[in-house]
Structure formats: structure tokens, C-alpha cells
Structure 1
């Protein structure tokens, strides 16, 4: 089909999906110069030619209560998108992340005879594995960001491709820590520990006091050690500033945003389990990972999760590569014991960094082109 027109439907419900979708559309347009794109997406996808039927912001809801309050509108938007594509069938429809919104839409479109693909696998390998049957009915092909994700789809005879991760393409393999420190106005010499207690208010409320108390203990053992703490936006900045008077003796620099640059500058990082651990891995910053949640949430999650590791670097490595301290295990004493080897034992840091470099190489596949290959494979299979 290369060289002739292609009409696709695509839907991204949040900013991270808009980034992925823009890369996919740019790669597809190289193959199909007359590409026509309709659906829902943000400014990056619109810059690649998307005609967005609704503002993407109307789908960007977080937590448990907000989606329930907005449910009538969300259902109305999904119904309108379905009716639009039913009346104007695309060659393929691609849902990007947002599985609770997209999979039902994909299932209905596929049942109507429209080819479907989904970019970003839900965490079926970790919890709610029963969703795999629903996914099998909804998509012709699943596009996975991580190599370990394809196995469960293969076990259920669902076509799946590992397409790599765009951050691995974007972040250079060699990191200049001196330049990163200069850019942030941090001292060029001396050991520096980054603290990343999360991006959500609840995470920061539970983890930031713990991380700061850990930093206080480390500083008593090594008065030359410095600390840098990025805040994930104005609200988190205010939340962290309210905590700092209790730790006024800490040699700590508070930065708004720029968490990636902070990790590039640091000798090691203590951070919340989540997507930031992938960035830490890719910038080869030795890490210890911690997480706490409310007792009720932990009681529910600990029964549902079916993976031996919480930290993404450990899941990718298939072993306990980085220390992870979850819930009751996340104490000041345990975090100090986990962080100190990262700062003072070059063998420990070297082992982590060598594994990080290997994982980085495995994830850097040329994300956009691999996604376009997978889409082309669905179109090819449907043409026979």
C-alpha cells in the first residue's frame, strides 16, 4: 500500500498518548504521503494532520471519583466517535493507551468489520489478567512498549509486536553529568543525591517526609553530600515547600520540573516507583525505589498484583537489579541502607549502569517506524 492514500482513525486521551501518537503519525506519513487522520488527539497529533473530533482535554481525567462524575460526557463522546467511524469506516482504527475508554470502542469497531490496533499494552502481565480475553476480541494487533509484554498475548494467540520505547530513542546513551549540573546551577563537584517522591499529591504526602528524613540521616553521616529535589509542577512545589522548614539544615536545592535533567546531574536517585524509574534507567542514574500507599489501597493492590517486582527496571531486567522497598519495608533505616552503596560503592553503581545500558539498547528500536510496520502488517493481513 506504500505510496497510496490511507485513512485512519486514532484516539489518544491524554498528553502522553499525544506524544506517542504524533510519532506514529509522522512515521506513517513517510509511507503514506496522502495520509488522512481523524479521531481525538492533542496539539502534537494535530500538527501531524489529525482532525480532532473533540478536544482531547475532555478525556483527560484522573483518579476514581472524577471519571464517575464525568461518565455521561465520556460515554457520549465515545458513542459519537463510534457512530462517526461506523458511518465513515477508516482503513484502520488505532487506540493509544487509555484502555478503559479505547478497548470498548475498538471492540465495537472491530465487530463492525474495521481493523483495529492498540498502542501501549495494559498491565495484564501484572494484574487483572482476565482482561486479555476482552483485548483479544477488541484488537487485531497489540503494540507493546516493553519486550516482556508480548509473551502473554502469544499465549492467548493474540498478535502482538514489541515496538520499543520512544524515550530510549530520544535519550542519548552517553550522559554528560557535568553539563547537566551546570545547566541546573548545581555544584560541579561533590556527591549529589536526587529525591523524587512522585508527581501526585498523595504520593508526595506519603513519600516526601520519608525521603527527606532519609536525606537528613545520610547528611549526618556525610556532611559533604548534597541533595536536589524536583517538584512536578506548581502544586507539588507548594506542597514540598511546606515540608522543608522541618529540614532547614539540609543542603538541598528545590527545582520546579526538570526531573530528567536532575537525574542526569545526580550521582544517584531515591525515587517513587513509577514511570520516572524508566527515565532514571535511561540516563543511567543508579537508583533505589520506594513506594507507599494507604493501608486500604495496599490491601487491595497486594492481592491483585501478579508480578514479583514493582520497579520497572527490575521487571525489565527479570531480576532484583535495583533495591525496591514497598509499603512497610520503606523505612528510613532501610532506605539509608539501600542508598549508601549507590553513593559510595563504585562496583554497585557500575553493575546497575551496565545493566541500564543494555536495557536502553534493547528498547531503542526506532519506535515510530516499528509502529508503522505493525500497522502495515494489520492492513496487509486484512487485504488478503
Structure 2
């Protein structure tokens, strides 16, 4: 069968590539035309548009690039019609993909959606558009099945694909040598991927370095940012020379870093789940601009900001948000999880339970198997 797949972000490229592996295993005649990245292209997809050309985030950036975005949508529709796929598979990226889903359904094209938009967090009314436009939805978080059931929409829970990625990962043997790390225990710093959040959060994370002289702090650099940017943030921090010497940087080596970390300070998002899957005790830190935070409080419908707590529906990891995200509170919470005892062991036990909640692995293959079955039975 012919599969047209659209992923607009780096995470979508990763999960899309693993889905393509599964589709090839289930359908030996699978043919792919893709919007994605290097990983999906390496799996044999004919790349139409790379996700780095689609990364417009934030109200102003979207408005500034609206002509380009509308041009991409028009181009995508035209290309789908030319390719005539048996199935259109959309991966997350809702701003673009939900528009394509509505259009494709009107053209009589079968639409599958893998990794649901987080409509349970905000703007839940979009569920009605999804019901009307998407033939099958494949979700990766257990509570999403119950969310959609409230709207009388049956979805398939396939488990979280990160389980497979983490289980298959092997850190390079020379990781500590390459990054000039010593034998001191490591505290990983995961300050996000966007410049504004990195500047805001890395500064406050670094402020507690002098309080933990027996540790080395290692920054997980995002692939979207240059090393020079992080070095500027470090130079502008009020750290002494001794403290600065205990701060290190890794570029696009987050998983290897987590395999070696004793604890972590993590910005909210998928990184909190990745940290939990590596069984690293963590403190979740988030601070936005006052206006952005105020707006978010008005529209967001969830009690937690970390995926770990959202999945568990209770507090497993401490979330320090906005005014609570300060040096004193971070120091207090980090000390608690480094001290050992009940707090640290309880968190690790909760991590084990979390893994059971999100599935035992094989999410990509399970999703692929169901997609082929549905496509063949409904074709």
C-alpha cells in the first residue's frame, strides 16, 4: 500500500521512522511519501518537506510567516492528490495536520492519526473536528482513551513509543571521557529547547551549583541550539570560577547523559517522561513570562505540567512552577532526592508503575499492525 505520512517536528520524525519500520514489517509492499526528517527518509520515505522548514512556533512567528504556512498547506494538498495514497498518516503537529485531515476526509482519503494532539489539556472542542475528519486515532497515553470515550469516539491505545526508544538505547562507552567528566556524581540539567525558556530556566538551575560542591552539573544541549548560545548563558551567570569548572555541556546527548545521572532538573514536557524511563529522580522546573503564564492558567484544563504526573494522575515528581521556580525551592527539592531514603526510593517505585501504565514496549509495531489491518479491512 501507499502511505503518505506527515510529521512536522523532530519527535515526529523519530516516532515516524519507527512506525515506518513497523509498516514495512507488516506490509512488504509499503511505499512512503513523507513530510518529516532524516530518520524517516533513511527508512525509505520520499521526502517532500523537511520538518526544519515547518518550525513556526508562537503567535507572532506564525503571523509573520503566514504566507509560507498557507503555501505549505496548498503544496501538501496538491502533492497528496498527485500521490493518491491508500492511507494518510498524520503524526501530532496539530496546527497543520488537523487542517489537512479535514480536507483529506472531504476528498475521500482514509485518515489515520498517530499521537493525538493534546486537546485534553486545552481547546477540547477540537475533538469534534477530529471525530469528523479522522478515521482512526492511535493514542500513546492511557488517559487519552478515556478522554475520547467521553465524546463517544473509540480510539486505539498502543502504548508510548518512547519505551522502545529508551530500551534500545546504548550510551557510547567513551561518553564521560569525550565530555571530560570526572568521577563525581552527575546532576543533569534539561532546560528545554527554545531560546527564551533556556535563558530563563538555565539561569535559575545554575544558581544552585555552588550549593552542591560534590557534584558536577551537565547541560543537555538541544539539537536546535548552538553550543555558543549555552556558553553565553553560563558566562552571564554569577558563578565563581570553581563553580563554573563543575558545569559541563553535552550536545544532543540527552539519553547518554541520563544513563549516567544521579538526579536531574527538568523543564516540563516529554523530557520529564524520558527522565522517568531512565529511572533518574527529578525536579520539574518551569517559568514563563507573566503574561504567558496568566493566559495558560485561563485555558489549560489539567492539574499538572509534567507528563509523569499527568499519566499517574497524582504527584510523583515535584513541580516548581513560576514563583516556586526559584533557587531556594530548587535547592530544597534537589537535596531531598539526593539524600536517598523514602523520597528517592518512592519516586523510583512510582517510575516502575508508570512504565506499566504506558505499555510494555512495541508501540510502533502495534500501531503499524493495526493500521495495516484497518486499511485492508476497510479498503
Per the normalisation by structure 2, the TM-score is 0.90
Task: Give the alignment partner of residue 371 of structure 2, picking from 368, 375, 382.
Answer: 375
In the TM superposition, residue 307 of structure 1 has moved relative to its aligned partner by 0.9
Task: Give the alignment partner of residue 328 of structure 1, picking from 323, 326, 335.
Answer: 323
Partner of 2:248: 254
Aligned-partner Cα distance in 2 for 1:16–1:203 = 19
In the TM superposition, residue 340 of structure 1 has moved relative to its aligned partner by 0.9
Q: CA offsets, 1:293-330, max 9 Å, x none?
A: 00000110011111111111111222111111100122
Within a 5 Å distance, the mapping from 1:108-123 to structure 2 comes to 108-123=103-118
Answering whether residue 200 of structure 2 is matched by residue 210 of structure 1, we say no
Equivalent pairs, count: 373
Aligned-partner Cα distance in 2 for 1:208–1:57 = 24
In the TM superposition, residue 80 of structure 1 has moved relative to its aligned partner by 2.7
The question of whether the paired residues in 1 share the 8 Å contact of 2:171 and 2:255 is answered with: no
Residue segments in structure 1 that go unaligned for 5+ positions in a row: 1-5
The question of whether the paired residues in 2 share the 8 Å contact of 1:141 and 1:158 is answered with: no
Partner of 2:313: 318
In the TM superposition, residue 55 of structure 1 has moved relative to its aligned partner by 4.2
Answering whether residue 219 of structure 2 is matched by residue 229 of structure 1, we say yes
Aligned-partner Cα distance in 2 for 1:47–1:209 = 38
In the TM superposition, residue 273 of structure 1 has moved relative to its aligned partner by 1.3
In the TM superposition, residue 120 of structure 1 has moved relative to its aligned partner by 1.5
Task: Give the alignment partner of residue 231 of structure 2, picking from 202, 213, 238.
Answer: 238
Within a 5 Å distance, the mapping from 1:18-29 to structure 2 comes to 18-29=13-24
Residue segments in structure 2 that go unaligned for 5+ positions in a row: none
Q: CA offsets, 1:190-242, max 9 Å, x none?
A: 443222222221112211221122233x33xxx43333233334254233332
Within a 5 Å distance, the mapping from 1:271-286 to structure 2 comes to 271-286=266-281
Q: 1:339 to 1:48 in 2, by over 3 A?
A: same
Aligned-partner Cα distance in 1 for 2:206–2:234 = 12
Give SS of 2:208's match. helix
Aligned-partner Cα distance in 1 for 2:215–2:250 = 21
In the TM superposition, residue 136 of structure 1 has moved relative to its aligned partner by 1.3
Aligned-partner Cα distance in 2 for 1:204–1:55 = 25
Give SS of 1:62's match. coil
Q: 1:269 to 1:39 in 2, by over 3 A?
A: closer
The question of whether the paired residues in 1 share the 8 Å contact of 2:215 and 2:246 is answered with: no
Q: CA offsets, 1:225-264, max 9 Å, x none?
A: 3332333342542333323453433252311322222222
Task: Give the alignment partner of residue 194 of structure 2, picking from 175, 195, 200.
Answer: 200
Bigger Cα displacement from structure 2, 267-276 vs 57-66: 57-66
Q: CA offsets, 1:305-359, max 9 Å, x none?
A: 1111111111122211111110012222211221111111332111111221232
